[in-house]
C-alpha cells in the first residue's frame, strides 16, 4: 500500500507562514493559501490588504530544518512598521491583532 501524498512541500527549504483566522460563529481555521504565497512578505501584505477577516495568530515553520514557532508578535511589529513607513493607519481587520501582541511586549 502506498503512503498518502504529503501536504508538506517536497524538499523546499524555506520558511512558511500561515494565518489562523477567526470567522466568528463559524469558528477559526488556518487560512488556505497557495504554496508560493506563504512568505513573510506575502502574509504581511495580505494582512494589510484585508485578505483576512480577524487574524488570531501567525505561525512559521520550516520542515527541512524541523522547527515551528508562533511569530504573531514579530508580524504585528512588521505590520506597525509598514504602516508607519507608508504613512497609513492599520486596517480595521488587523488592528485588534496588532494591539493584542503589543500588549504582550
Domain ranges of the chain: 16-103
Q: H or E segment at 16?
A: strand 16-22
Q: Alpha-carbon distance 26 to 12, whole Å?
A: 33
Going across the sheet that includes 16-22, the strands are 28-30, 16-22, 55-62, 67-70
Residue-level pLDDT at 6 = 58
Residue-level pLDDT at 33 = 87
Residue-level pLDDT at 3 = 65
Residue 40 in contact with residue 60, Cβ under 8 Å?
A: yes
Q: H or E segment at 83?
A: helix 72-85
- The pTM score is 0.83
Q: Alpha-carbon distance 42 to 35, whole Å?
A: 11
Question: What are the residue ranges in the chain where pLDDT is below 70?
Answer: 1-11, 104-105
Amino acid at each position: 500500500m502506498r503512503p498518502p501524498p504529503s501536504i508538506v512541500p517536497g524538499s523546499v527549504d524555506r520558511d512558511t507562514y500561515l494565518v489562523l483566522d477567526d470567522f466568528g460563529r463559524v469558528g477559526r481555521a488556518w487560512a488556505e493559501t497557495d504554496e508560493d504565497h506563504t512568505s513573510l512578505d506575502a502574509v504581511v501584505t495580505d494582512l494589510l490588504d484585508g485578505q483576512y477577516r480577524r487574524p488570531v495568530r501567525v505561525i512559521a515553520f520550516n520542515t527541512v530544518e524541523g522547527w515551528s514557532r508562533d511569530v504573531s508578535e514579530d508580524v504585528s511589529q512588521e505590520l506597525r512598521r509598514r504602516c508607519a513607513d507608508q504613512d497609513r493607519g492599520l486596517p480595521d481587520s488587523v488592528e485588534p491583532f496588532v494591539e493584542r501582541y503589543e500588549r504582550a511586549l
